[in-house]
Amino acid sequence: MTTGAARVACIGECMIEVVDQGDGSARLGFGGDVFNTAAYLARSARQRASGPTRVEFVTVTGDDAYSRQMRALWRLHGVRDDHAPVLPGELPGLYLVRRDARGERTFSHYRSASAARRLFGPDQPGTIDDALAASDVLYFSAITLSIMSADARRRLIALLDAVRARGGRVIFDSNYRASGWDSPRQAREVIAAILPHVDVALPTLADDQQVFRDADAGACARRLRAAGVREVAIKLGARGCLVVSEGGAVLVPAVKDVAVVDTTAAGDAFNGAYIAARLDGASPPGAAAAGNSLAAEVIGFPGALLPVTGDPEMISKSLDI
């Protein structure tokens, strides 16, 4: 994978996040799986020794107050919005989060009219595709696919191939939310069509088992490798991560004795740290260890995003590379 200065484009949706506090009140924020990964990738890259990493979030938003507020949040986290068009009159999606006593969360989504559903639609200028084709890394998830039309997915596949043809890498998380699909079968067909265009897969075993019914992590890895994915890091929750690549298969254990407050965005944080570590020259198992470490930090904190840390001037400079 490219090391040193790198350009990473993350394609997805950012929504209004409403977290049920359990006492009749709620906390308002913003999040979405791919944006969370972009924020944690930018955060991790600032802490590593490699050259500057330009992280941009590719989506569509409206021009309402909440959309403006979420875009300000992206920049606060060191994430650019150069290729995130604003459509006047459109609105963001929204999701509600409830946590149980173990910190496990359930989601309720309200996104049928989300502006992000226009991603790669007929209104999106072709100049965006051309610009993104020069990315060193292009990252997206199955949730991204679930909000796209069939035509938009075909356009995305053309972009994936253009990125790879120029020497870039495509990274994919088969993050599955049943509410985004007509059926597991639809998700299975769409994801299976994407995998031949993917270099690195970062799935969660529990998600892929719902869609593909893999017996275990080994079966999941074999299926992905057979589809042409060269590097696989399968998230196993408290058991850690199974990494399968040209170097063989390695089980990287999770951090032990972590007090779980909220598991929201743990997988997204893993992905961000994993990508940053690989860009910094770490081996796949080393990148998985970095991912496990950040995920352990995130599950000890309420909400999807850790508070921003670092020199504000440095974060600002990261947006101008």
Residue 171 contacts residue 198 (beta carbons within 8 Å): yes
* CB-facing half-sphere around the CA of 21: CA atoms within 13 A: 7
3-state helix, strand, coil in the chain (%, to 5): 40, 20, 35
Q: Which residues, in sequence order, are CB contacts of 284 under 8 Å at separation 6+?
A: 231, 233, 243, 245, 247, 250, 278
By DSSP bridging, strand 248-252 and strand 241-245 are antiparallel
- Amino acid, single-letter form, for residue 291: G
Whether 268 is catalytic is: yes
Instruction: Determine which one of 136, 214, 262, 268 is catalytic.
Output: 268
- Here the tokens at position 186 are 């639809």
Name the DSSP class of 306. P
User: How far does Cα 127 stand from its chain's mean position?
Assistant: 23
In one letter, which amino acid is 148?
A: M
Residues 6+ apart with CB under 8 A from 288: 233, 240, 241, 243, 250, 252, 270, 274
Phi, psi of 138 (to 5 degrees): -120, 125
Q: How far apart are CA 204 and CA 8, in angstroms?
A: 22
* Residue 229, token pair as written in the block: 């994915």
Task: State the burial class of residue 282 (Cβ atoms within 10 Å of its Cβ: 0-12, 13-18, 19+).
Answer: buried
Catalytic residues: 268
